[in-house]
């Protein structure tokens, strides 16, 4: 289980320096769990109970549109926090589903534990602010890409910046994430790699 926490600390320390007291607090409050592939970890229509950190595996966040089609709004590329962040923080009903595409190793913290450690952690406030800023910037960049880049450019950018997604995530989820019809993505791939 040590690799779970080593991965978490390495991720956090890309953003803030983590004192030993905070590391101990993480070990006490983040619980390791293994989730089998193709599991819906959180379902739409409920309040998220956990903030998840992906140690290994691929997950997606999706909702159903008015036509009942799945729309993928987030995919992870390597270790990172992954949840319906707004709904977790505000403890509101989420319209999103968290889906383990592959087998996943996670560390999870409850809302209550996260709130309690915020009172005693030396670095949690700084980290939370910086993490939220990072999430906001990623969302802003994604929206910008959807409106300014062609379908082919979006796909090429994903290949360049997040190759693990291309290797590990089914094309139907990638096409949804990129805002491209699956048949259009297949055509783009044929043209690029033939």
pLDDT, residue 1, reads 61
Query: What pLDDT, in 10s, does the model give residues 8-30?
Result: 999 999 888 888 988 999 999 99
b/e per residue 32-63 (b: at least 16 CB within 10 A): beebeeeeebbebeeebebbbbbbebbbbbbe
Confidence of residue 121 (pLDDT cuts 50, 70, 90): confident
pLDDT, residue 152, reads 93
**Separation of first and last alpha carbons in the chain:** 44
The domain defined by 2-123 folds into: Jelly Rolls (2.60.120)
pTM of the predicted model over 0.95: no
Distance CA 182, CA 186 (A): 6
Residue pair 70/45 in contact (Cβ under 8 Å)? The answer is no
């Amino acid at each position: 289980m040590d690799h779970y926490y080593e991965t978490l600390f390495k991720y956090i320390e890309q953003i803030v320096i983590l004192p030993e007291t905070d590391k101990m607090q993480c070990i006490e409050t983040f619980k390791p769990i293994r989730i089998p592939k193709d599991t819906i970890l959180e379902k739409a229509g409920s309040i998220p109970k956990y903030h998840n950190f992906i140690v290994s595996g691929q997950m997606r966040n999706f909702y159903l549109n008015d036509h009942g089609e799945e729309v993928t709004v987030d995919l992870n590329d390597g270790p990172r926090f992954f949840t319906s962040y707004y709904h977790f923080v505000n403890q509101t009903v989420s319209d999103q589903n968290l889906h383990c595409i592959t087998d996943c190793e996670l560390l999870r913290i409850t809302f209550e534990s996260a709130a309690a450690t915020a009172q005693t952690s030396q670095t949690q406030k700084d980290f939370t602010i910086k993490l939220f800023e990072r999430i906001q910037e990623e969302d802003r960049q994604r929206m910008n890409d959807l409106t300014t880049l062609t379908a082919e450019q979006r796909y090429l950018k994903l290949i360049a910046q997040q190759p693990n997604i291309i290797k590990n995530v089914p094309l139907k989820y990638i096409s949804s994430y990129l805002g491209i019809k699956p048949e259009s993505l297949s055509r783009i791939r044929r043209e690029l790699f033939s």
